[in-house]
Amino acid sequence: MPLFGAPGYVRTKALERPKLGPLLPVIDAILEVDKTAPPKQRHTAKRIFERQRDEYGFAGGYTVVKDYVRLARTRSREVFVPLAHPLGHAQVDFGECVGVIGGVRMKLHVFCFDLPHSDACFIKAYAAETTEAFLDGHVSAFAFFGGVPLSILYDNLKIAVAKIVDDGERCRTQAFTELVSHFLFDDRFGRPGKGNDKGKVEGLVKFMRLNKFDLLAGVEAAWPAAFRRLRRLAVDDPGGRACLTSAFSRDAMTKA
């Protein structure tokens, strides 16, 4: 009887697949395309096997195809590493929520600005997610904090990105180009469809959605009050702005 924990067989060379080998590039191409396909439209190992059999005359068994597909997907699985947030860098996103302003229930489009290093934040609500709101949100945040971050991370929102070319470079919209040129910060963009690239501001958006905004004045008169309340809502401190500016002072910023 072998001893418990004794070393077993260790493979010293790659497994040979004489029948499947010529078709491995075909399987790899299918798996690569699947990465950008909706989850329900991606190939199962069985479907890949059937395609190799029907389209390429594969005469081997299902098991060898299934094992290769499993190993290939494991190798390409996304690896997550702990994030570090250096001084002076920000994240921006828009979120939606439903609020009651002057007794009127309405959808609010909320500009969210987060400084991950210090956890300072700024939020401001608009009636629509427009270019004007996007630009005004930046100007308001810079004025509130008294400075401009070294860089800002965005997702690929159409207000800022006109298109993504083949090499992944973003072509900015004219309005966003003028904003960046005026305030001289570096713009950065997350991977398409990957919200975890800017998890701090995503968390701020989620927090904002969980809170109810209810102001009792007339709708028009209530908007300025709504802005003030939204700016301070994400800070657990009665002083609101004092807490934000104190936290913000730990971030390295340029003056607006």
At 9-22, the pLDDT tens digits run 555 555 667 678 78
- Over 70: is that where the pLDDT of 153 sits? yes
101: left (phi over 0), alpha (psi -120 to 50) or beta: beta
Cα 155–Cα 159–Cα 164 angle in degrees, nearest 5? 60
Domains and CATH numbers, the chain: 21-75 (no CATH), 89-248 (3.30.420.10)
Write the pLDDT tens digit of every residue in 32-49: 888 888 888 889 999 999
- Exposure of 207 in the CB half-sphere (CA atoms within 13 A): 21
Q: Say how far apart CA 160 and CA 137 lie, in whole Å.
A: 13
Q: How confident is the model at residue 247 (pLDDT cuts 50, 70, 90)?
A: very low
Closest CA relative to residue 31, chosen from 73, 2, 62, 63: 73
Write the pLDDT tens digit of every residue in 58-85: 888 899 899 899 888 887 665 555 567 7
